Every structure is written in structure tokens, then in C-alpha cells.
Amino acid sequence: MINVNKTYLPPQERYLAIVNRAWQKGWITNNGDLVRELEGELRQKLSLEHLLFTGNGTVVLQMALRAVGHAGGEIITTSYSYVATAHAIRWQGFTPVFVDIEPETYCINPLLVEAAITSRTKAILATHVYGMPCQTEALDALSRRFGIPVVYDAAHAFGTTWQGKSLLSYGHISTCSFHATKVFHTVEGGCIVCHNASLFAELEGYRQFGHNGDQHYSIGINGKNSEFHAAMGLAILPDFEQIVATRKQLFEQYKQALAHCKVRLLQPEASPGLQWNYAYFPVLFSSHPTMMAVKTALEAQQIFPRRYFYPALNTLPYYPQQYSCPVAEDAADRVLCLPFYTGLLPAELQQIVETVVPLTQL
């Protein structure tokens, strides 16, 4: 069986040696030594001063939206992302306003964001799709002009840099996922990044139920993570550059093998200011039937790609107000992420390609 993703695991002895430090101390949660060590390593690696390690990549979206304002009002967001992006908005008591994406980047379209801003707008929540950058300059300009914060869902973006800076360094707040399917992971986990000490203190309070010992000062949530998860991050982090290099090589092999197919590979435009993390291998097929034929043919061989993202968020049935987002809806109908991970064997890649190619030449 070949899944769309296979979790990267470090040498077992390296992980166990790190875990043993917590085991010996008997301190396995509540911001232990390994959690704080991982936070320090991540801050140094990403050149970010205010970063918190958390339990997952969804709770940080909730924390970020809590920080931009109390419930009520609207959050302008993308129609092309994982459902957690929209769910966090509604969970926090805001109304999502979905706008369409750019056909070139598949990230939120700043022109449509500007058109959607009203007196009820509390923030913009944009996703760096597949680890590729949004138009950060345009969105930040809107933020300054209208006085509303930009929150970036950077769940896929760990390791991507833009203009010499981590993609997590943009916006009022950025969040990231360290789920086991991500390029860098802690099994379950995430982080939240901001850029001033007072907001950082507020987010830190949210992460631990809004209190420090017996002193209670705000509403909070359980956003903490354990020493076992931090140990996984510490064990994987030294391998990160090699992981990305391997994924880049795999991407190029796929790209060459599919060069003459009637497909479009979704990847960032070549730019001297961009270093991509090769988070996924998304393919835009010529039509919905072709995409479904490829998906069905692969699954018949126990190869499982994923419709990532499907459906377009603006079409979810439990959001009663409907928005027209034709680019996102078309992408949701035609995009398929092919299996893509460190450890995918050449023979497996060849099997995938030999299935895809004939179906894209019809």
C-alpha cells in the first residue's frame, strides 16, 4: 500500500535518548525542559523571537482569532484550504467571509479581499497553500490601510523562506502545524508566532488556560504539548535540510516523468527571493473526470492520493451564506495530491507515473 504521505521517523535510538531525559526526570507535560528546548531551537532556526510550541495546528488558529477580537464580526478568509481554517473562525464566534483564490498561486486573492472589507471585518485569515507564499506585501498593505490584522495559516509553510525570512515571520500572527503528515513534525503539534512581547504574553496565557499558578488573568484553553512530542521534534530537526533536499529531488523526478502530460503541476513561480519546502505534490488535471479516473485507477492498485483540498470551503453545507468562488471550486474539482514523502521508492514512483500518464493523454 502506498499512501499519499508516510511519516518521517528519525533514528529510534536518537529519539529514545531524548525521551529518556524526560523519563528520568518524571516531568512529561506542562511546559517541561524538552518543550522549552524545542521552542528555543525553533526560534533560533527560524530567527523568530516570539514562538510558542502547542498541541496542534488548529488550537493555534483559535488562539490567534481570540487575540484579534472577541466573538462577533467577520473574518475574511480563503475558499481553498483545509476545513480547520474555516472551522476555527466559526468556533470562535466569527462569521467567515469566503473570497476566491488566484489562479496562479492558489492563495487568497488580495483584490477580492479588499472588495470584501466592511465595517464588520475583524481580520484577514489567509493560507499559504501547499507551503507557497500568499501575496504578503499586498495583504500587509491592506492591513495597514484598513487597520485590520492579517493572520496567516502557515500550516504547510515550515521551512519555506521568502525574501530571506521564514514565511512564519509575516503578518500580525502566523500559525503552523507539526502534524505527522508535515515536512517537519512532532507527531501532533503546532506553533504560533507573533512579533511583540505583549501579544506574546497574551498568547502564552491562552495556551495554559489563562492562568499562571494561582493567578488567573484571562480566558484560556489547553494548547500545551508534551515532552514526548517535543522529543520527536528535537530528534527530527537535525535532519530537516536533508528531508527537504530529498523531497526536492523527488519533486524533480515526478516533474520530469509528467512533463508531457496534460496536467499542471502546482508549484511556486521561480523567484530569487523564494525557497520552497516541497510540502506536497499537487497536480491540476485537465478535467474532473480525468482526475477521478486517475484517483480510481491508483486506488485499485492500493495507491491512495488525496483530494487536497476538497471541497472548496465556500460550498460546505453548514455555512448557510453562500459565496461564489469559481477558481477555488474548479481547483477542488481537479486537483489531486500524489503520494509524496521521504522514502518513496523509485519503483513506487514509476508505478504511479505509469498509471497517471496514459489517463492524461486521452
Confidence class for position 362, pLDDT limits 50, 70, 90: low
**pLDDT recorded at residue 47:** 97
Hey, is 189 helix, strand or coil?
coil
> What integer best gives the mean pLDDT of the chain?
96
Q: What is the pLDDT of residues 43-99, one digit of tens each?
A: 999 999 999 999 999 999 999 999 998 778 999 999 999 999 999 999 999 999 999
What does the CA dihedral 125, 129, 156, 282 come to, rounded to 10 degrees? 160
Q: What is the pLDDT of residues 7-28, one digit of tens each?
A: 999 999 999 999 999 999 999 9
CATH superfamily for domain 240-359:
Aspartate Aminotransferase, domain 1 (3.90.1150.10)
Give the predicted TM-score (pTM) of the model: 0.96
Q: Which CATH number fits domain 2-237: 3.40.50.150, 3.30.530.80, 3.40.190.10, 3.40.640.10?
A: 3.40.640.10
107 within 8 A of 211, measured Cβ to Cβ: no
224 alpha-carbon distance from chain centroid: 19
Hey, is 162 helix, strand or coil?
strand
| DSSP string for residues in 50-110 | EEEEES-TTHHHHHHHHHH-SS-SEEEEESSS-HHHHHHHHHTT-EEEEE-B-TTT-SB-H
Crossing angle for the helix pair 326-334 and 288-299, to the nearest 10 degrees: 30
In the chain, where are the structural domains located? Answer: 2-237, 240-359
Q: Find the angle CA(97)-CA(116)-CA(311) to the nearest 5 degrees.
A: 35
